[in-house]
């Protein structure tokens, strides 16, 4: 397909960019968080209306730099949904002053463009560029509370870790280019399929690429940045970082490994098993001792990535289905949890778990919602999080990864303890700190949306499964 | 399609609970009447079920089957047979009575009754679900309200007890989930239906059956609870408020036993034969160890809690014998224990609300001050220790009779448990009712009308089954016979 024809497939990206510039310019005149937020929301709605319809066959765009398949469409839909919720959360987040609000939404929309490009890239170079764009925007967003030392510290750590790991990834890509003479994934996968690859060499290459993606998905041992960044960043940004780049990271991981390097499966499966086990276990165990809820959710999100990785390790169609559903459920419940954290921190000016004591008395609705999100993260049926675990564990059992399944279920018991701890503070203790209730309509809309999502995806799961089944790679169809 | 009895029984409480969420917090009277109405309606429906139940049929009755998640073959499938009908009735009865018993809850009533009704839905659903995933979902739903009910309205160590209960049961049941998945992937075509899996029982290899059996065992054994997974029970029972203790002992423990009857034994019959002796020995340990520990308790409620451990041992023993008599005894023992121990916990609660202590040594001479209470307490204590003519005797005797045919030595030692049980219950009666009146209790009032209303139905059932056991046995006999035939047990 030539360039002109390709353009209509990137209409969503173009719309977002146009709106981003409009927001930036108009922020010179309008410094209102909500007005600009509505602008950003309409950008997202318009972009989702222009999403290309799903295709049975892949469409190569821009000299095969990008592709437009049903897999990328799934992740584009999720990315737009995530940003939409994050915009609503930002509108209700008090710490975010109106001084640089235009720049904030500008960056957020550009981050979304990067996400949309990353999930549809079919070329290692394009993958690197879009991920790097996403990373740079994330660093800036984390540092957005520039007078807050934690925010700056988090951003610096994020930047140093990011620079190192993407550097390694870029080196890996350069080696791949040296070996194959191209960075086009579809050409590479043809060579791989002939089985001419040396096992050790391929393993080294894949580990290098994994460094960059593991950083995005916060897999152990590339997870060290997460707690400080999650804690320091403005909470709305934390919500974004905990789900957006993670979903993108998994999408790229699946595209490179499962779709294109699948013949090398035997080389990376044992390594990935170990990473998955460590990610789950370390995330969960350290989460137990956290006293700040954002830090706790950071470790919890590391652990959640470990569960998702089970579906990836299994490498089967049902594993893929599990991972896609898990990402969907995880986006819903994690955004919800952070939304509640924002609501509470607006009212008590604190993120300490201790200060959640007796929340049920002051704000029964928020404590109920936060409990639902935490229970969903813990995997209590019939909420969405349960089915995520159910699907990845069943994929593991089906492909006889019994050890992985057992470690997974044991971990979810450990996880239940620290999720319940927050609930314990909210319902079983008496209030200690002053609570000045702050209302925010956008926040409530966002929370109601994800809350409904958690219940609907839990109780009426069939349509979601069908949607996911239609979004898998051709490899598994 | 006929009237969906089971759906109504299961989800009426939940509907009531949602209604309560929308009632004003201050209007406690309305909240209580909503809760009472829905639990009463569920009880009436279960009575209708009982009268329309065909005792001679061994297949499922009142079946409801709808597809839930077609792509992985999960269905919304409910039904009752002789094994579950008694437990459904037990659950609706205790839910209703404990709801009336909950009137004395004086803080955060709105949340209490919402959680209470959610709990009822989970419990009832567990006994009628015929799809493993549905079963698991309903089984797990029980955990969350229970955590709050113990943790908010419990005694001094409520937080510890609540989280211990939660983690213990979750850890057990999550292995059950793996077992469920193993069933799914080893069956052809892949299915979660308990009935479908029952048709092909015994076709899996023994080693696979053993693995799945252990996975399910971990889930059920924590709930029963089987030694050494019982340590959550005394904590949870003692800290929970009275009506919740009643449901814990009366219904929740039965979920584990029911799991053995519905899933472990019929679907994994070779593994069941393989594990029969260890199963019986664990039953023996429960009976004797539970009784000895109960004897040593100074706390009234803790004593009753450990007596539950002991009584549930008879269920294990009777079931392990895989004889018709033994299994009939085991199933009836579950029902009887629910009624008797439920009543015992109510009685402890009656005393506690008046004396504000459960220390057995702080009572004494209450026989004079509370004659009606004393009479009822004596009946329940005697039923619990297995006095002929009361219900406990029938089921314990049948369990022992059945198991004697298979495990002679184990049964002989188990009988020791009955002697110890008699010992500690009589000792309890002596300390509470007889001797000189404790001066602190001079002005203690006798049992109130509301409390009598709760206890009388239970007492009637205890005596009725004691003198005419067929009233309960007739529902289950045909199903148990088919059950034993299916797993290839002894005909005795």
The pair of structure tokens assigned to A350 is: 């604190």
Taking Cα atoms as reference points, which of A49, A39, A161 lies closest to residue A108? A39
A-chain residue closest to B73, CA distance: A462
Best residue in B115, B170, B192 for a mutation probing chain A (most A CBs within 10 Å) = B170
- Domain ranges, residue B315: 275-492
The pair of structure tokens assigned to A391 is: 């699907």
- The long-range contacts involving B424-427, CB below 8 angstroms and separated by at least 24 positions, are B424/B291, B424/B294, B424/B295, B424/B303, B424/B307, B425/B307, B425/B381, B425/B382, B425/B384, B425/B385, B426/B381, B426/B385, B427/B295
Residue B82, classified by CB atoms within 10 Å of its CB into exposed (0-12), middle (13-18) or buried (19+), is: buried
Which one-letter DSSP state was computed for residue A147?
Answer: T
- Provide the pLDDT for residue A475: 58
Contact A416 B166 (CB under 8 A): yes
Q: Is A22 helix (H, G, I), strand (E, B) or coil?
A: helix
CA atoms within 13 A on the CB side of A443: 25
- Provide the pLDDT for residue A118: 94
Identify whether B349 is part of a domain: yes
Identify whether B154 is part of a domain: no
Query: How many angstroms separate the CA atoms of B393 and B382, rounded?
Result: 9
Chain A residues whose C-beta is within 8 A of a chain B C-beta are: 360, 375, 380-382, 386, 390, 393-394, 397-398, 405-406, 409-410, 412-413, 416-417, 420, 424, 427-428, 461-462, 465-466, 469
Which one-letter DSSP state was computed for residue A114?
Answer: H
- Provide the pLDDT for residue A362: 87
- Provide the pLDDT for residue A55: 59
- Provide the pLDDT for residue B492: 65
Nearest to B136 among A381, A427, A469 (CB): A381
- Provide the pLDDT for residue B141: 92
CA distance A427 to chain B (A): 7
- Provide the pLDDT for residue B16: 92
- Provide the pLDDT for residue A84: 95
- Provide the pLDDT for residue A57: 59
Asked whether the beta carbons of B332 and B489 are under 8 A apart, the reply is no
Identify whether B309 is part of a domain: yes
- Provide the pLDDT for residue A474: 61
Contact B140 A380 (CB under 8 A): yes
- Non-local (6+) Cβ contacts of A424 within 8 A are B151, B159, B162, B163
Query: How many angstroms separate the CA atoms of A72 and A183, rounded?
Result: 19
Helices marked H in B5-27: 5-21
The pair of structure tokens assigned to B214 is: 């252990």
Nearest to A465 among B71, B167, B181 (CB): B71
Taking Cα atoms as reference points, which of A400, A394, A413 lies closest to residue B178? A394
A-chain residue closest to B175, CA distance: A409
Residue segments in chain A with a per-residue pLDDT below the cut of 50: 477
Asked whether the beta carbons of A135 and A163 are under 8 A apart, the reply is no
Contact A382 B70 (CB under 8 A): no
Asked whether the beta carbons of A250 and A79 are under 8 A apart, the reply is no
Residue segments in chain B with a per-residue pLDDT below the cut of 50: none
pLDDT in tens, B318-371: 999 999 999 999 999 999 999 999 999 999 998 888 888 888 888 888 888 888
Query: How many angstroms separate the CA atoms of B225 and B172, rounded?
Result: 11
Show residues of chain B in contact with A406, CB under 8 Å: 178
Show residues of chain B in contact with A427, CB under 8 Å: 148, 151-152
Contact B144 A380 (CB under 8 A): yes
Taking Cα atoms as reference points, which of B138, B91, B161 lies closest to residue B342? B91
Asked whether the beta carbons of B68 and B75 are under 8 A apart, the reply is yes
- Provide the pLDDT for residue B292: 93
Asked whether the beta carbons of A60 and A67 are under 8 A apart, the reply is yes
Per-domain residue ranges for chain A?
A: 11-476
CA-CA distances (angstroms) from residue B393 to B83, B329, B430? 20, 10, 21
- Provide the pLDDT for residue A126: 93
A-chain residue closest to B67, CA distance: A462
Split into its structural domains, chain B has a count of: 1
Identify whether B256 is part of a domain: no
Nearest to B178 among A380, A405, A466 (CB): A405
Prediction pTM value: 0.93
Chain B residues whose C-beta is within 8 A of a chain A C-beta are: 68-72, 111, 133, 136-137, 140-141, 143-144, 147-148, 151-152, 158-159, 162-163, 166-167, 170-171, 174-175, 177-178, 181-182, 184-185
Taking Cα atoms as reference points, which of B205, B404, B201 lies closest to residue B320? B404
Q: Is cis: bond before B253, omega within 30 of 0?
A: no
Asked whether the beta carbons of A208 and A168 are under 8 A apart, the reply is yes
Query: How many angstroms separate the CA atoms of B403 and B410, rounded?
Result: 8
Identify whether B64 is part of a domain: no
Show residues of chain A in contact with B177, CB under 8 Å: 390, 393, 409
Nearest to A413 among B144, B151, B170 (CB): B170
Show residues of chain B in contact with A472, CB under 8 Å: none
């Amino acid at each position: 397909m030539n360039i002109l024809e390709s353009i209509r497939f990137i209409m969503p990206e173009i719309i977002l960019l146009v709106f981003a510039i409009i927001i930036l310019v108009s922020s010179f005149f309008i410094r209102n968080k909500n007005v600009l937020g509505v602008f950003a929301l309409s950008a997202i709605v318009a972009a989702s209306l222009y999403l290309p319809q799903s295709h049975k066959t892949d469409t190569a765009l821009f000299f095969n730099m990008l592709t437009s398949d049903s897999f990328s469409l799934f992740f584009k839909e999720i990315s737009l949904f995530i940003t939409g919720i994050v915009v609503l959360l930002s509108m209700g987040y008090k710490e975010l002053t109106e001084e640089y609000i235009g720049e904030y939404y500008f960056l957020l929309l550009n981050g979304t463009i990067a996400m949309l490009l990353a999930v549809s890239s079919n070329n290692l170079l394009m993958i690197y560029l879009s991920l790097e764009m996403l990373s740079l925007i994330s660093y800036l967003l984390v540092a957005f509370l520039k007078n807050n030392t934690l925010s700056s510290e988090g951003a610096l750590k994020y930047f140093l870790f990011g620079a190192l790991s993407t550097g390694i990834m870029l080196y890996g890509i350069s080696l791949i280019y040296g070996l194959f003479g191209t960075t086009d994934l579809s050409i590479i996968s043809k060579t791989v399929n002939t089985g001419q690859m040396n096992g050790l060499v391929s393993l080294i290459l894949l580990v290098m690429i994994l460094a960059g993606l593991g950083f995005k998905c916060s897999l152990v041992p590339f997870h060290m940045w997460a707690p400080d960044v999650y804690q320091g960043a403005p909470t709305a940004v934390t919500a974004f970082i905990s789900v957006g780049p993670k979903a993108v990271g998994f999408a790229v991981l699946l595209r490179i490994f499962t779709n294109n390097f699948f013949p090398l499966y035997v080389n990376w499966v044992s390594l990935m098993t170990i990473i998955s086990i460590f990610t789950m276990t370390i995330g969960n165990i350290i989460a137990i001792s956290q006293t700040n809820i954002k830090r706790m959710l950071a470790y919890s999100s590391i652990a959640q990535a470990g569960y998702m990785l089970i579906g990836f390790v299994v490498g089967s169609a049902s594993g893929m289905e599990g991972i896609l559903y898990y990402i969907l459920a995880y986006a819903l419940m994690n955004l919800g949890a952070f939304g509640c954290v924002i609501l509470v921190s607006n009212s008590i000016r604190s993120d300490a778990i201790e200060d959640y004591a007796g929340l049920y008395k002051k704000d029964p609705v928020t404590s109920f919602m936060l409990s639902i999100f935490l229970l969903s993260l813990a995997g209590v049926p019939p909420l969405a999080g349960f089915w995520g675990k159910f699907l990845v564990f069943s994929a593991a059992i089906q492909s006889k990864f019994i050890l992985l399944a057992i470690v997974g279920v044991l971990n979810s018991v450990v996880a239940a303890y620290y999720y319940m701890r927050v609930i314990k503070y909210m319902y079983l203790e008496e209030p200690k700190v002053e609570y000045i209730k702050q209302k925010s309509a956008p926040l409530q809309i966002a929370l109601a949306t994800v809350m409904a999502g958690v219940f609907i995806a839990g109780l009426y799961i069939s349509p979601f499964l069908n949607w996911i089944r239609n979004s898998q790679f051709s490899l598994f169809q | 399609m006929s009237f969906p009895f089971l759906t109504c029984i299961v989800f009426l409480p939940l509907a009531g609970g949602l209604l309560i969420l929308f009632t004003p917090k201050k209007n406690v009277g309305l909240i209580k009447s909503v809760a009472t109405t829905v639990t009463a309606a569920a009880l009436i429906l279960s009575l209708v079920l009982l009268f329309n139940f065909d005792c001679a049929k061994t297949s499922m009755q009142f079946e409801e089957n709808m597809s839930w998640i077609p792509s992985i073959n999960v269905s919304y499938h409910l039904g009752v047979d002789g094994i579950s009908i008694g437990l459904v009735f037990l659950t609706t009865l205790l839910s209703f009575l404990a709801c009336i018993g909950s009137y004395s809850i004086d803080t955060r009533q709105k949340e209490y009754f919402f959680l209470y009704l959610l709990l009822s839905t989970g419990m009832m659903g567990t006994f009628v679900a015929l799809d493993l995933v549905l079963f698991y979902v309903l089984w797990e739903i029980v955990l969350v309200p229970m955590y709050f009910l113990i943790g908010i309205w419990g005694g001094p160590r409520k937080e510890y007890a609540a989280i211990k209960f939660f983690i213990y049961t979750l850890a057990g049941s999550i292995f059950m989930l793996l077992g469920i998945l193993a069933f799914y992937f080893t069956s052809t075509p892949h299915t979660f239906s308990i009935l479908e899996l029952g048709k092909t029982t015994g076709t899996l290899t023994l080693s696979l059956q053993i693995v799945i059996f252990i996975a399910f065992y971990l889930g059920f054994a924590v709930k029963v609870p089987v030694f050494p997974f019982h340590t959550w029970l005394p904590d949870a029972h003692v800290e929970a408020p009275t009506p919740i203790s009643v449901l814990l002992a009366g219904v929740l423990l039965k979920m584990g036993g029911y799991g053995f009857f519905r899933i472990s034994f019929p679907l994994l019959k070779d593994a069941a034969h393989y594990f029969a002796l260890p199963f019986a020995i664990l039953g023996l340990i429960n009976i004797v160890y539970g009784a000895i520990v109960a004897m040593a308790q100074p706390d009234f409620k803790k004593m009753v809690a450990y007596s539950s451990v002991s009584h549930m041992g008879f269920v294990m023993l009777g079931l392990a014998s895989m004889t018709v008599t033994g299994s009939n005894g085991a199933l009836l023992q579950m029902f009887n224990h629910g009624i008797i121990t439920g009543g015992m916990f109510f009685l402890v609660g009656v005393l506690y609300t008046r004396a504000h202590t459960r220390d057995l040594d702080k009572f004494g001479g209450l026989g004079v001050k509370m004659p009606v209470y004393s009479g009822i307490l004596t009946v329940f204590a005697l039923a619990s220790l297995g006095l002929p003519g009361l219900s406990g005797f029938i089921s314990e005797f049948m369990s022992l009779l059945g198991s004697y045919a298979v495990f002679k030595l184990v049964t002989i030692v188990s009988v020791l448990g009955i002697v110890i049980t008699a010992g500690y219950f009589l000792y309890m009666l002596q300390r509470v009712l007889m001797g000189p009146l404790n001066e602190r209790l001079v002005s203690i009032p006798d049992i109130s009308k509301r409390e009598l209303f709760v206890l009388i139905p239970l007492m009637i059932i205890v005596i009725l089954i004691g003198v005419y056991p067929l009233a309960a046995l007739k529902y289950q006999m045909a199903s148990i016979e088919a059950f034993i035939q299916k797993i290839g047990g002894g005909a005795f």
